[in-house]
Structure 1
Amino acid sequence: MSQDQPGPASAAGTAEAPAQRTTLPPTAAQTSPENPWPLRLLSEKLKAHIDRVPPTWVEGQVIELNRRNSVTYLTLRDTEAEASFGLVAWSAVMARLEAPLTPGSRVVAQIKPDLYIKTGRLSMQTRDIRPVGLGDLLARLERLRQALAAEGLFADERKKRLPMLPHRIGLITGRDSDAMKDVIRNASLRWPAVAFEVREVAVQGVSAVAQVMQALAELDAMAEVDVIVIARGGGSLEDLLPFSSEELIRAVAAARTPVVSAIGHEADRPLLDDVADLRASTPTDAAKRIVPDVNEELERIARARAMLARSVETMIRHEGERLAAVRSRPVLANPQGMVHARAEDLQRLAARAYGCISTAVDRDRDRIAHLRAQVRALSPQNTLDRGYAVVQLPDGAVLRDAQDAPAGTRLRVRVAVGEVAADVVP
């Protein structure tokens, strides 16, 4: 092929050769097919960016450990989620440990990310690593317990009462676990009609918290579930740590359905026991406390019925005795005597009332006759009947002074019967 003829790459319109580029884009966002970065530049920039990340303390569980000469390679997994990192620890770091690490150990480590420019491989350089002892876990749980208690999540007034007889019980437990069998068997023995809505989940490990929370949300959304039981058998403190997760505690506190905690044995005390509406010492104890015993309830009903029958019989007997006592009283033995006595009282009172009225009428009649005689004695007509006369002036006024009637005055003279006219003469 001649040098003057373009090759296949040039004919296809590919990017220019690196020797033909004069300037590189300052940022990754400005790169293009025509003006890309060299790979080494990306590696250098990533290296510079990662170097600015400060050392970080992290916590996890060692699931793999491989020692090679002076270097130890570890795989650290999160204790509550599916996340893991590979760590590199030099012999000087591992030598500071009092006891060698083993897979399954819970540790805290100070790590610093580092990028190897030549291969672009990211590694986590371990600067310090410390095992988490039982005392550290207990102290951490106690601090979390106090913080949640200060928020009021453990207060008695927020706890919900369990129904007396739940029709359907939600059960969150391990897959084919003894705890599930204990709860179902003992609850069914106590109340054969009880029904369960079971959710089998992981009860330890990194996925336990997420699965328990998902099962809790499903059962809490079901209107037919009256109470939810979270049950697990005994185990070590590390095995029971998922039931002290802050996320799970807050989910239980927010649930609308009453929640019963039945984790481990009497001595085990995860934080779930404090936030639950009822704490059962064991799964068997939970079954006994969420449903009544049918035999005990039947005995109570029988005792109540017997007590009610005795009460009714006693009341009937007492009322019969009272009725007999009332019937033996004279007023009921001879009821006519009471009627006759009241009739005599009525006649006596009627006679007294008639006498009082007659006396008052006679007295008022005499007083009226006396007043009539007085009125008649003072009557002007009575005076005229005795021969007197009344002289009146023309205007009708009574003449009392002769000077009021000069000569020629026309007068009217009233006598006992009729009147006459008279003129005054000089």
Structure 2
Amino acid sequence: MNTSSSPEGAGEQERPPELPKLARDTTPENPWPLSTLSHALHGWVQKAPDAWVEGQVIEVNQRARVSYVTLRDLQEEVSVNVTLFQREMARLERPLERGSRVVVNLKADFYVKTGRLSMLGRDIRPVGLGDLLERLERLRRALAEEGLFDPAHKKRLPVLPHRVGLVTGRNSDAEKDVVRNATNRWPGVQFEIREVPVQGSGSARAVIGALEELDAMAEVDVIVIARGGGAFEDLLSFSEESLLRAVFAARTPVVSAIGHENDQPLLDHVADVRASTPTDAGKRVVPDVHEERLRLGQARAALDRAVGSLIEREQQGLATVRSRPVLSQPDGMILVREEDLDRWRTRAWTATNSLTLRAQDSVAQMRARVRALSPQQTLDRGYAVVQTADGSVLTDASRAQVGQQLTVRLAAGELGVDVTGTSTRQPGEH
């Protein structure tokens, strides 16, 4: 029996499969209906909380009951379309304009029928001047406490930069002022120019990119960030925290030349040098060639005077040395020394002669004494020396023997004698 043809079996085949409860459980064989996804997205979006956001109005399209406003982020290239109903727009004291800075309470909404995600603006408020000033003041105090304004961190400008980096607007008067005034002061100055937006959303980020690019170039010795004057809101980009920190981190000295004398964005406090105007910046970054030539002339004249004075002093010193007797009459010293030598020679000769004479006398006396003590002198007085055959001197008659041959030495010559007798008689006895 074929059960597939039974009514019960046919009912089981026609029963639709159970839909997955979660999106991750869907498969190609068991997908969701599009409406299920749309309703689920609508539920998820509805659960998202509303949020206050800040941005800049770049486009306004007003209709009878609904206005469509395009907001752009103040820093990033991010924009979003906002739908505002008539009651929200009616609360504004003045109509929205392009470039206005606003805060909006946004609530995400997903339209099920078309699958379109939109942002509903429940409340919109222009950011007033007081709010901006308060924010800037808080930022200024915070950065000052961190030390970003400390003069100890300021870098000195080079005396003569090889190349000047310039960040400014496209074809702006500020660029012309900086280049013209710097070239007038130093015709050989070279520029590395980066033209970027200097107003509106994204301008701070563009300036940061140009600053970092120039800072990485070894040939750039100083960087000028210049912009002409404008409303307070137009200069807000130069008080953005990200730009201020980028300037503080730059290794190259940075000159701030924003607006006029009364315009003081926070960049003026962080930059190494503040120029009141772009014209002033052009005068600060390079020296004046005429002034430098004048200073070189003055320095050369001072150097000439110093060298002349030194030469004159040395000449006077040489003249003084030449006037001294040792140089003016050098033979005088020789004559004095010659006299000294003659005197010392005479004294030496006299002393040596006296010493020689005394020595001669002493030798004569000693010779006389030696002669007086000489045996020959005794012999000369008539005495004689008796010697035995072996040459020994006979001093005792008892030692002689009768018949012994003796030698008698006289003062002149000798006698040979024979002993005929001996006697012990002493001299003087009878």
Shift of 1:119: 2.8
Counterpart check, 1:32 vs 2:13: no
Counterpart check, 1:78 vs 2:73: yes
1:82-93 correspondence runs (5 A): 82-93=77-88
Name the CA distance, whole Å, in 1 between partners of 2:301 and 2:114: 89
1:255-270 correspondence runs (5 A): 255-270=250-265
Counterpart check, 1:43 vs 2:43: no
Residue 182 of structure 1 corresponds to which residue in structure 2?
177
Q: Which deviates more, 269-278 or 93-102? A: 93-102
Shift of 1:155: 2.3
Residue 137 of structure 1 corresponds to which residue in structure 2?
132
3-state SS of the aligned residue for 1:180?
A: helix
Residue 274 of structure 1 corresponds to which residue in structure 2?
269
Residue 327 of structure 2 corresponds to which residue in structure 1?
332
Name the CA distance, whole Å, in 1 between partners of 2:268 and 2:84: 39
Counterpart check, 1:318 vs 2:352: no
Shift of 1:166: 0.9
Post-superposition Cα deviations, 1:11-50, rounded to whole Å, max 9, x if no partner, equal xxxxxxxx85422223323322211112222122212221
Shift of 1:100: 4.0
1:58-137 correspondence runs (5 A): 58-137=53-132
1:52 maps to which of 27, 43, 47: 47
Name the CA distance, whole Å, in 2 between partners of 1:93 and 1:106: 16
TM score, norm. by length of structure 1: 0.73
Residue 141 of structure 2 corresponds to which residue in structure 1?
146
Residue 238 of structure 1 corresponds to which residue in structure 2?
233
Query: Which 5+ residue runs of structure 2 have no aligned equivalent?
Result: 1-13, 363-430
Shift of 1:177: 0.8
Residue 301 of structure 1 corresponds to which residue in structure 2?
296
* Identical counterparts, % of pairs: 62
Does the 8 Å CA contact 2:99/2:200 hold for their aligned counterparts? no
3-state SS of the aligned residue for 2:233?
A: coil
Shift of 1:169: 1.2
Q: Compared with structure 1, are the counterparts of its residues 48 and 334 closer, same or farther at alpha carbon in structure 2 (3 Å cutoff)?
A: same
Residue 405 of structure 1 corresponds to which residue in structure 2?
none
Shift of 1:142: 1.5
Q: Which deviates more, 30-39 or 135-144? A: 30-39
Does the 8 Å CA contact 2:17/2:30 hold for their aligned counterparts? no
1:199-238 correspondence runs (5 A): 199-238=194-233
Does the 8 Å CA contact 1:112/1:125 hold for their aligned counterparts? yes
TM score, norm. by length of structure 2: 0.72
- Amino acid in the other structure paired with 1:210: R
3-state SS of the aligned residue for 2:144?
A: helix
3-state SS of the aligned residue for 1:240?
A: helix
Q: What is the aligned-residue RMSD (CA, Å)? A: 3.0
Larger Rg: 1 or 2? 2
Name the CA distance, whole Å, in 2 between partners of 1:238 and 1:349: 108
Residue 288 of structure 1 corresponds to which residue in structure 2?
283
Post-superposition Cα deviations, 1:138-169, rounded to whole Å, max 9, x if no partner, equal 11112112222222222222222221111111
Shift of 1:331: 3.7
Post-superposition Cα deviations, 1:56-95, rounded to whole Å, max 9, x if no partner, equal 1111122333444454433322233332222233444344
Name the CA distance, whole Å, in 1 between partners of 2:32 and 2:262: 63
Q: Which deviates more, 275-284 or 98-107? A: 98-107
Name the CA distance, whole Å, in 1 between partners of 2:343 and 2:125: 117
Q: Which deviates more, 43-52 or 64-73? A: 64-73
Counterpart check, 1:191 vs 2:209: no
Shift of 1:110: 1.3
Query: Which 5+ residue runs of structure 1 have no aligned equivalent?
Result: 1-18, 367-426
Residue 422 of structure 1 corresponds to which residue in structure 2?
none
Aligned residues: 344
Name the CA distance, whole Å, in 2 between partners of 1:29 and 1:146: 51
3-state SS of the aligned residue for 1:239?
A: helix
- Amino acid in the other structure paired with 1:305: R
